[in-house]
């Protein structure tokens, strides 16, 4: 038991040096990193919670919230090597499960969506990155190696090895591209891509309308020419384009 506790603390401690370039020495990390302090207090409260000790676990959680700005219900299950960076405003609900080596930034909420009983908070797999201000709500399953962009709101399950952005969160696949956990700010903008594609389509439709409204004395635009222009337009996009379909369908969520 003691060995497991020490190994977990060692993993929580070392991951800070791996993922935070500002971490310079062990004394600074131990006394000046609220994420580590909140986890230490939570792990103690969680053991008491599992033993069904009344009141004390919640009191420890409340004290940790006052000291660190991070609120973790004592019933939440937190894996080893989890790093809560900065941490102010982080809320993790009672039935939430956070896998090993997750990276959670400030303002994140792993919450529920109602007053239902039972499992009502999300489950995060291993090596998950949750960007600043993101909200993951409900009894969701977030797979391994998932990245959730800053400010996203995730309301549905997400399979492993995906990136989620937007409100509501939409999956963006980045096949074949390996991205470091600290590059959570470099995410594709799916809304901008769809808007750009639709604007290009509108521009081409306007050109067709202008061609149809030309005087009859002028030579009409041949349909073959219009089709060729649509096919070779550098940024044109038909309505059945994959980008638009993914956006309208929730990109697979």
Same domain, 108 and 224: no
Residues 102 and 143 in one domain: yes
Angle CA 140–95–141, to nearest 5: 15
Strand order in the sheet with 123-124: 77-78, 97-98, 123-124, 141-142
Residue 57 and residue 148 share a domain:
yes
Residue 148 lies in a domain: yes
Q: Is residue 220 part of a domain?
A: yes
Residues 80 and 198 in one domain: no
What pTM value is reported for the model?
0.72
Q: Which two tokens stand for residue 208?
A: 């067709």
Q: In Å, how far are 40, 141, 224 from 204, measured between CA atoms?
A: 60, 42, 14
Phi/psi of residue 83, nearest 5 degrees: -120, 120
pLDDT in tens, the chain (253 residues): 667 888 888 888 889 988 888 888 888 888 989 999 999 999 999 999 999 999 999 999 999 999 999 999 999 999 999 999 988 999 999 999 999 999 999 999 999 887 778 899 999 999 999 999 999 999 999 999 999 988 899 998 998 888 888 888 887 765 545 555 555 555 556 666 677 777 777 888 888 888 888 765 455 555 555 555 555 554 444 545 666 666 655 554 4
| Whether 115 and 222 share a structural domain | no
- Tell me which residue range forms the domain holding 210: 190-248
CATH code for the domain of 126: 2.160.10.10
**Is 49 within the bounds of a domain?**
yes
Residue at 184 is within a domain: no
Q: Is residue 240 part of a domain?
A: yes
Helix (H, G, I), strand (E, B) or coil at 184: coil
Say if residues 136 and 156 touch (Cβ distance below 8 Å): no
Could you tell me if 68 and 167 lie in one domain?
A: yes
Helix/strand/coil (H/E/C) assignment for every residue in 124-159: ECCCCEECCCCEEECCCEECCCCEECCCCEECCCEC
Confidence (pLDDT) at 238: 52
pLDDT the model gives residue 65: 95
CB atoms under 10 Å from CB of 58, counted, come to: 16
Say whether both 48 and 75 belong to one domain.
Answer: yes
Q: Are both 72 and 8 inside the same structural domain?
A: yes
Question: Do 132 and 215 belong together in one domain?
Answer: no
Tell me what pLDDT residue 189 has: 61
Residues 134 and 221 in one domain: no
Token pair, residue 168, equals: 């509501």
> Is 18 within the bounds of a domain?
yes
Are 20 and 143 in the same domain? Answer: yes
Are 75 and 119 in the same domain? yes
Structural domain contains residue 66: yes
What pLDDT was estimated at residue 61?
A: 94
Is residue 163 situated within a structural domain? yes
Of the residues 118, 143, 172, the one at which a domain ends: 172
Compute how many other C-beta atoms are within 10 angstroms of the C-beta atom of residue 66.
9
The total of structural domains in the chain comes to 2
Q: Final residue of a domain: which of 144, 172, 200?
A: 172
197-201 long-range CB contacts below 8 Å, 24 or more apart?
A: 197/235, 197/237, 197/241, 197/243, 197/244, 198/237, 198/244, 200/233, 200/235, 200/236, 200/237, 201/236, 201/237, 201/238, 201/239
Q: What is the pLDDT of residue 224?
A: 59
Q: Choose one of 119, 138, 172: the last residue of a domain.
A: 172
């Amino acid at each position: 038991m003691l060995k497991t506790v020490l190994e977990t603390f060692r993993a929580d401690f070392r991951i800070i040096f791996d993922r935070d370039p500002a971490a310079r020495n062990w004394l600074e990390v131990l006394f000046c990193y609220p994420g580590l302090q909140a986890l230490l207090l939570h792990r103690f409260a969680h053991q008491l919670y599992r033993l069904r000790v009344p009141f004390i676990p919640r009191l420890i959680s409340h004290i940790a919230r006052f000291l660190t700005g991070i609120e973790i219900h004592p019933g939440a299950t937190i894996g080893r090597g989890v790093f809560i960076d900065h941490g102010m405003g982080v809320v993790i609900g009672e039935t939430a499960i956070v896998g090993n080596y997750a990276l959670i930034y400030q303002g994140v909420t792993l919450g529920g969506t109602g007053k239902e009983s039972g499992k009502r908070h999300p489950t995060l797999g291993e090596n998950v990155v949750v960007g600043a201000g993101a909200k993951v709500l409900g009894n969701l399953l977030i797979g391994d190696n998932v990245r959730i962009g800053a400010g996203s709101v995730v309301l549905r399950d997400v399979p492993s090895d995906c990136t989620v952005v937007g409100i509501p969160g939409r999956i963006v696949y980045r096949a074949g591209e390996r991205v470091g956990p600290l590059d959570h700010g470099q995410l594709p903008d799916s809304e901008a891509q769809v808007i750009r594609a639709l604007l290009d389509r509108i521009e081409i439709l306007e050109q067709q309308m202008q061609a149809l409204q030309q005087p009859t004395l002028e030579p009409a635009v041949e349909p073959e020419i219009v089709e060729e222009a649509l096919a070779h337009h550098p940024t044109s996009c038909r309505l059945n384009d994959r980008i638009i379909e993914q956006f309208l369908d929730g990109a697979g969520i």
